[in-house]
Structure 1
Amino acid sequence: MSEIAVLFNGYSTMSANDEMTANCTCTLIKGAHNIIVDTMTAWDSDKIISALKSHGVIPEDINYVVSTHGHSDHIGNNNLFLKAKHIVGFSISYKDKYYIFPFDKGQEYVINESVKVVPTPGHTLSDVTVLVKSNQGEQVAITGDLFEKHEDIEDPNIWLEAGSEDKVQQARNRSKIADIADWIMPGHGAQFQVTKELRQTLRKQIV
């Protein structure tokens, strides 16, 4: 089991002059390994260090950095964590060593008995989701931009307009993750509970 702490909830808003203001959800997982998922923008380093400190963690304590995909608001502070193995989308590395792993074949990367990284392409073709078994015994999915926010369940235009490199795969993976998760932590909103009705809605959206 693992302890999950949302350090910062993501957000995204569009202004009248077509300028977007956005940042991603940043999550700490504490357990057999300390893991940070999605490290926000390059201007957020002080915020992240301070938030980690409030949970009794310093950057050197982090064993894994997982960026659900390679967009700039999800990788901005990866370089704070120099003792960690880095998983950025389908790419796994430590210093100048790269580890070939068949995410593209659908294989799941197991970090420990309560945390694994699964391929969920759609938003980008190398998106991943982190599945965590919480201390409460619930399955939590940290999805990055597979889900933008809770509102994109009823209004798929939200995730489509945020950019999707493969909307067919994304719709399928949204439904797949919802079918196994109790809670979803989306890329740009607060966590939400997965209900039977939500699962049914997502199944209907599969092309």
Structure 2
Amino acid sequence: MTAWDGDKLITALVDHGINCEDINYVISTHGHSDHIGCNYLFPKATHIVGFCISQKDRYFHHDFKSGKEYRINDKITIIPTPGHTLQDVTVIINSGKGTIAITGDLFEREDDLSNCNIWKSAGSDSEELQVMNRLKILQLADYIIPGHGAMFKTDKYK
């Protein structure tokens, strides 16, 4: 969300019985302003923004560039999926309902599977990598939460 969406985000968290102090990790799939604007609301959290990991003024090295995954716990893993930007990551969640991929703008919305102009017009630092990683996520996930649309099932795209 953008820096102007803070109140909306706080309200949504409260509606679920959560406050900003409860958040341990903030994961932004990439560093564009419409995806990192409310990160300031979570000063206690570890922040993962694309390939960068930090907490307050400490930065941590992780080799996303070589394809290495970052595991938060046995259900949540961050994997590198460059394309939209060269430092994109996807959050993989293994839930009781299947594997969910939070992809950011690797997928703009479900419609971009039938119309590639949608994701291409949003910008792509590497269309070749983006196509490769989109296919990878489609095979890996049961559900995708794209950067600008509703969650969708992947079964009809496999």
Determine the C-alpha separation between the residues in 2 that align with 1:182 and 1:193: 6
| Partner secondary structure for residue 51 of structure 1 | helix
Determine the C-alpha separation between the residues in 1 that align with 2:157 and 2:108: 15
Shift in Å at residue 126 of structure 1? 0.0
Q: Which residue of 2 aligns with 1:123?
A: 84
Number of residue pairs matched? 158
Q: Name whichever structure is richer in helix by fraction.
A: 2
| Partner secondary structure for residue 133 of structure 1 | strand
Task: Find the partner of 2:99 among 139, 157, 160.
Answer: 139
Q: Which residue of 2 aligns with 1:169?
A: 129
- Establish whether residue 178 from structure 1 lines up as the match of residue 151 from structure 2: no
Over residues 43-75 of structure 1, what are the superposed CA-to-partner deviations in whole Å (9 max), with x where a residue is unaligned? 100000010001110000000000000000000
Runs of 4+ in 1 over 4 A off after TM superposition: none
**Structural RMSD (CA):** 0.7
Shift in Å at residue 156 of structure 1? 0.6
Over residues 56-113 of structure 1, what are the superposed CA-to-partner deviations in whole Å (9 max), with x where a residue is unaligned? 1000000000000000000001010011000000000001110010000000000000
TM-score of the pair, normalised by structure 1: 0.75
Shift in Å at residue 135 of structure 1? 3.4
| Partner secondary structure for residue 101 of structure 1 | coil
Q: Name whichever structure is richer in strand by fraction.
A: 1
- Establish whether residue 92 from structure 1 lines up as the match of residue 53 from structure 2: yes
Over residues 1-41 of structure 1, what are the superposed CA-to-partner deviations in whole Å (9 max), with x where a residue is unaligned? xxxxxxxxxxxxxxxxxxxxxxxxxxxxxxxxxxxxxxx00
Determine the C-alpha separation between the residues in 1 that align with 2:62 and 2:94: 23
| Partner secondary structure for residue 43 of structure 1 | helix
Structure 1's unaligned 5+ residue stretches are 1-39, 200-207
Determine the C-alpha separation between the residues in 2 that align with 1:47 and 1:126: 27
Aligned identity (percent) is 57
